[in-house]
Amino acid sequence: MTRLLALFATLCLLAACTNPNDLDQAPVDLGDFRLGHNVAVAPNITKGPASREASAEEWIAAMQAAIDERFGRYEGDKLYHFGISIEGYVLAVPGVPVVASPKSALIIRVTLWDDAAQAKLNEEPEQVTIIESFSADTWIGSGLTQSKEKQMENLTRNAAKLIENWMVRQRAKQGWFGPEPMASPDPQTDSEAPVDPEATGTETGPTDETEDS
């Protein structure tokens, strides 16, 4: 509990750089991934200092909506399931602009399951720490400019984006979701590309000397 509060105190001094506003673009490559079960729980959720109140049920609904929004776009051949535990949060309250207005923050733990293998991809849950995105609406403190519901939407959408980033890294490191596609050969360097005889000085047809003989 003490460590969690200390972490929140540090986060309240920071601004996030996560940008989840890419949902109108093509999804990043996650191989054979397709969203299966989307399970969120909050059995021991902790509210940080100087925070608005939000129930476990509200957090679960917001988290599941953000996961569906981001990962429901994937149409791979294999099902993968999310298990997300919501550990703690701060929903900024109104304060003195800039100086004393805290930042909203969220801590979650993520486990990903491979349905076909009936096994976890990550044995230990991945802890993800999220703070609200920096914007015109939050630089003076989202407690002054946003409702509780908007703060929760902001945080959970950032969480889904950070989870996606983590999955991309694991795909590159450990081959999650099938092998990465091979890069297309560069036609300028392809060893099987046709050779221009004039460029190399090589003659491919009979010479005049050959014909005369």
Tell me: the pLDDT tens digits for 155-200? Answer: 999 999 999 999 999 999 999 999 776 655 554 544 444 444 444 3
- End-to-end CA, the chain: 97
Residue 194 in domain: no
Lowest mean pLDDT among 20-29, 84-93, 134-143: 134-143
Domain with 146 in it: what CATH number?
Answer: 3.40.50
Compute CA 108 distance to the chain's CA centroid, rounded to the nearest angstrom.
Answer: 13
Residue % of the chain over a pLDDT of 90 = 56
Residue ranges making up the domain that contains 49: 27-174
The mean per-residue pLDDT over the stretch 56-85 comes to: 98
> Nearest CA to 147 among 70, 87, 94?
94
83-102 pLDDT tens trace: 999 999 999 887 655 445 56
Mean pLDDT for the chain? 79
Residue 134 in domain: yes
Confidence of residue 63 (pLDDT cuts 50, 70, 90): very high
Residue 108 in domain: yes
Among 89-103, 128-142, 197-211, which range has the highest average pLDDT?
89-103
More confident residue, 50 or 133: 50
What is the tally of structural domains in the chain?
Answer: 1
- Confidence at residue 88, expressed as pLDDT on a 0 to 100 scale: 97
Side-chain-side CA neighbours of residue 31 (13 Å): 19
- Confidence at residue 180, expressed as pLDDT on a 0 to 100 scale: 73
Q: Residue 145: pLDDT above 80? A: no
Q: Residue 14: pLDDT above 50? A: no
pTM of the model as a whole: 0.73
Which neighbouring-strand residues pair with 35? Answer: 80
Confidence of residue 142 (pLDDT cuts 50, 70, 90): low
Lowest mean pLDDT among 11-25, 51-65, 126-140: 11-25
- 70/42 Cα distance (integer angstroms): 21
- Confidence at residue 144, expressed as pLDDT on a 0 to 100 scale: 57
- 137/29 Cα distance (integer angstroms): 31
